[in-house]
Amino acid sequence: MPRALDYTKESEMPSVPVSLGDMKWSKTGSWRYMRPNYEDKTPPCNQACPAGNDVVRFVMLVEEGKTKSGWLKIKEESPFPGVCGRVCFHPCETQCNRGQYDQPVSIHRLERFVADACAHSRSRNLDRWGDRSERVAIIGSGPAGLSCAYHLALLGYHPEVFEALPVPGGILRVGIPEYRLPEGVLNREISDLETLGVKIRTDTKVDKDFFDGGGQEYQAVFIATGAHESQRLGISGEDGPGVIPGLTFLREVRMIQKVRPGKRVAVVGGGNTALDAARSALRLKSQPVIIYRRSQDEMPAFAGEIEEAMEEGIEIEFLTQPVRVIRENGGVAGLECIRMNLGEVDETGRKRPVPIKGSNFTLDVDGILVAIGEAPDARLLPPDVELDWRSLTLQDVSRAESRGVFFGGDLVSPFRTVAHAIGSGKKGAISVDAFLRGDNPLEVLEMTRIGETGGVSMRKYIDTGYRTLSRHVVNFDELNTAYFKPLSKTDRKCLSASSRIRDFREVNRGLIRREARYEAERCFKCGTCNECENCYVFCPDVSILRNMRKLKHEINYDQCKGCGICFTECPRTAISMEEEQR
């Protein structure tokens, strides 16, 4: 038991004012009424990622130069870093706290950098969790279906994926043009997934009979057939040659190559499908004009897409609505339109467009691409399914037969993005596994949620230690920005507008290694301890202990007085202060 040195004579004391003992006998920890502890919290980017990526941790690995580890970190949560690094609308960057400081970290470009740098890496290196004999069928090989299959494979299953088309990938392959997502990137990530033992049966259409008949051998089914039913304009002359649904057009471009939609083609709609269709038409030597009934602010397409389309010189007629297809000799001879005004705010939160009487005019076009939205093919859905549009709907439709049927992707979600689909597939995989283990999938999904409103985390699902990770989402005001210096975002690099419209070459270029390290360094690592050692340096009582072997710090509660300096000086809120419970 250490004790205080006690001198009674001057001659016993050292000549120099120097400590000859230590202060361990003085348990100043008893003074503490607030207790600091290391507690990693949820960064806003992680919560914002619909796919449930652990953004900060993969970025930290990139910063340390461990690109391969970064790739594996992403692969724990998503099979598609190369895809998402290109096509994701990156809500992570919108929520990035750095955006309130200077500019957000280029997370999606970092993801692409990692994926491209690890193009030859394989997921076999990931930990597999057990070996399951239950058979699981997945209907649809789009991002949701493949994500579900991938995660099930990691959980030890051997899922079988059914795809109606001759090629796997769904919307990734037939809905997104190559200049945004090169075929090689997609093939690479799908084939990686197949090496995990996922079987993809292409050219295999599944209908209701599947459940009634042969499907009985599957103990669980995940259905993610997407939303392909283009909505109709509902105007005269719509039916007939020359008027093509946008998704159909995009699929033909990918599968048939030689497609010519017309010399001058009207693209109706303001979403991503409309933009993709118009830009693809431009690359096929057509002259597209986009017709949208509201203004640019209301366009649902990603801002970057609109910007790139405008760079390429694509004309957009805002506040315009088609009223009639003019036909001559069966073909399209023009599109009669009417100008619109924005009126009251409607139930979608946007201003409702109102036609201006007498403003009709005719657009001289010989083709029309309709991209005003797609609906799911509801035929696969049992009639008693209740759709909850906010999240993956879980419905055990066949409890009597002990069979779990789950739905995901665009089929049931209003958020028609690749990232949401990937997240949905992961939820499906977790639900299937929970169901097969006799757990309540809804409860499990809630336990594995990232932050308060985010997606789900595989890491949390398989590693129960991760579930204790605080759900508190770190906001900008909680950071100690005195420790950060302004560093502007790496400039976007892309092909010039004039050269890229000649063919379907990828428009955007990736980051080089130096830029990636720089972007990773810009990351605040909100709520995530990166061993910056500010706590260690600032602790006035030397009560932060360093554990070199484990590469982390611990608090010596015998001495810690709870002054809170570590908490204040932590740049990223990876330390919490709680009232002492005695």
Partner 1 sequence: MKKVMTGNEAVAQGVKLSRVQVISAYPITPQTTIVEELSEMCADGRLNAKFLKVESEHSAMASIIASCTAGVRSFTATSSQGLVLMHEMLHWAAGARLPVVMVNVNRALGSPWNIGNEQSDSLSQRDTGWIQLYCENNQEVVDTIPQAYRIAETVKLPVMVVLDAFVLSHTAEPTEIPDQERIDEFLPPFKGDFTLTGRRHQSFNPITSPDYYMEFRYKIQKAMDQAKEVARSVDEDYEGLFRRGYGIMEKYNWDGADTVLVTSGAVTSTSRFVADELAKEGKRVGLLKMKMFRPFPTEAIREVLGGTRKVAVLDRGLSFGQSGFFAQEIRSTFCNEDEQPRIFGFVAGLGGRDVTPEDIRQMISYTLENDRPRHDIIWIGLKQ
The CB-of-26 to partner 1 minimum distance in angstroms stands at 12
Cα dist from 544 to 25, 71, 556, whole Å: 17, 32, 6
Does position 16 bind partner 1 by CB under 8 A? Answer: yes
Mapping DSSP onto H, E and C, the string for 375-441 reads ECCHHHCCCCCCCCCCCCCECCCEHHHCEEEEECHHHCCCCCCHHHHHHHHHHHHHHHHHHHCCCCH
The CB-of-553 to partner 1 minimum distance in angstroms stands at 18
Q: Give the CA dihedral 93, 94, 100, 104, nearest 10 degrees.
A: 20
Query: Residue 427 contacts by C-beta under 8 Å, 6 or more apart in sequence?
Result: 391, 392, 408, 445, 455, 456
The smaller minimum CB distance to partner 1, of residues 345 and 545, is found at: 545
The CB-of-536 to partner 1 minimum distance in angstroms stands at 15
DSSP state of 239: S
Handedness of CA 180, 185, 190, 193 (dihedral sign): negative
CB atoms within 10 A of CB 459: 19
Stretch that binds partner 1, among 12-20, 93-101, 190-198, 532-540 (CB under 8 A): 12-20
The smaller minimum CB distance to partner 1, of residues 358 and 540, is found at: 540
Does position 19 bind partner 1 by CB under 8 A? Answer: yes
Among 1, 3, 14, 549, binds partner 1 (CB under 8 A): 14
The smaller minimum CB distance to partner 1, of residues 19 and 547, is found at: 19
The CB-of-23 to partner 1 minimum distance in angstroms stands at 9
Q: Is 78 helix (H, G, I), strand (E, B) or coil?
A: coil
The CB-of-34 to partner 1 minimum distance in angstroms stands at 24
Among 2, 13, 100, 359, binds partner 1 (CB under 8 A): 13
The smaller minimum CB distance to partner 1, of residues 6 and 347, is found at: 6
Does position 348 bind partner 1 by CB under 8 A? Answer: no
The smaller minimum CB distance to partner 1, of residues 17 and 465, is found at: 17
Stretch that binds partner 1, among 6-14, 165-173, 196-204, 568-576 (CB under 8 A): 6-14
Stretch that binds partner 1, among 16-24, 241-249, 301-309, 379-387 (CB under 8 A): 16-24
How many residues line the site for partner 1 (CB under 8 A)?
Answer: 11
What is the gyration radius of the CA atoms in the chain, in angstroms?
28
What x/- string results for residues 21 through 50 when contact with partner 1 is judged by CB under 8 A?
Answer: -x----------------------------
Tokens describing residue 394: 């879980």
Does position 548 bind partner 1 by CB under 8 A? Answer: no
The CB-of-4 to partner 1 minimum distance in angstroms stands at 11
Stretch that binds partner 1, among 18-26, 338-346, 360-368, 427-435 (CB under 8 A): 18-26
The CB-of-545 to partner 1 minimum distance in angstroms stands at 13
Please give the distance of CA 26 from its chain centroid, rounded to a whole number: 51
The CB-of-154 to partner 1 minimum distance in angstroms stands at 48
The smaller minimum CB distance to partner 1, of residues 23 and 442, is found at: 23
The smaller minimum CB distance to partner 1, of residues 17 and 438, is found at: 17
The CB-of-15 to partner 1 minimum distance in angstroms stands at 6
The CB-of-554 to partner 1 minimum distance in angstroms stands at 17
Among 7, 25, 31, 483, binds partner 1 (CB under 8 A): 7
Residue from 448, 471, 469, 468 nearest 458 by CA: 448
Among 3, 15, 384, 465, binds partner 1 (CB under 8 A): 15
Tokens describing residue 472: 């508190």
Residue from 338, 331, 301 nearest 317 by CA: 338
Cα dist from 167 to 46, 192, 254, 393, whole Å: 32, 15, 11, 27
Stretch that binds partner 1, among 10-18, 50-58, 296-304, 395-403 (CB under 8 A): 10-18
Residue keyed to tokens 């295999």: 204
Residue from 350, 333, 310 nearest 497 by CA: 310
Among 3, 10, 217, 400, binds partner 1 (CB under 8 A): 10
- At position 453, the amino acid (one-letter code) is T
The CB-of-22 to partner 1 minimum distance in angstroms stands at 7
Answer for the pair 325, 236: CB distance below 8 angstroms, yes or no. Answer: yes
Stretch that binds partner 1, among 11-19, 124-132, 156-164, 187-195 (CB under 8 A): 11-19
Among 1, 3, 18, 477, binds partner 1 (CB under 8 A): 18
Q: Give the CA dihedral 491, 492, 497, 501, nearest 10 degrees.
A: 160
CB under 8 A, 24+ apart: contacts of 500-505: 500/179, 500/312, 501/279, 501/282, 501/283, 501/312, 501/313, 502/283, 503/283, 504/177, 504/178, 504/179, 504/280, 504/283, 505/179
The CB-of-546 to partner 1 minimum distance in angstroms stands at 13
Answer for the pair 139, 221: CB distance below 8 angstroms, yes or no. Answer: yes
Stretch that binds partner 1, among 7-15, 147-155, 238-246, 336-344 (CB under 8 A): 7-15
The smaller minimum CB distance to partner 1, of residues 2 and 331, is found at: 2
The CB-of-543 to partner 1 minimum distance in angstroms stands at 14
The smaller minimum CB distance to partner 1, of residues 9 and 582, is found at: 9
Stretch that binds partner 1, among 19-27, 32-40, 393-401, 554-562 (CB under 8 A): 19-27
CB atoms within 10 A of CB 468: 10
Residue from 492, 510, 425, 419 nearest 118 by CA: 510
Tokens describing residue 416: 């028609």
The smaller minimum CB distance to partner 1, of residues 12 and 579, is found at: 12
The smaller minimum CB distance to partner 1, of residues 6 and 209, is found at: 6
Residue-wise DSSP of 137-180: EEE--SHHHHHHHHHHHHTT---EEE-SSSSS-THHHHTS-TTT
Q: At what angle do helices 183-194 and 143-154 cross, to 10 degrees?
A: 30
Cα dist from 43 to 490, 517, 520, 521, whole Å: 21, 20, 15, 16
The smaller minimum CB distance to partner 1, of residues 26 and 360, is found at: 26
Residues 111-130 within binding reach of partner 1 (CB under 8 A): none
Does position 400 bind partner 1 by CB under 8 A? Answer: no
Does position 17 bind partner 1 by CB under 8 A? Answer: yes
Binding footprint of partner 1 on the chain (CB under 8 A): 7, 10, 13-20, 22
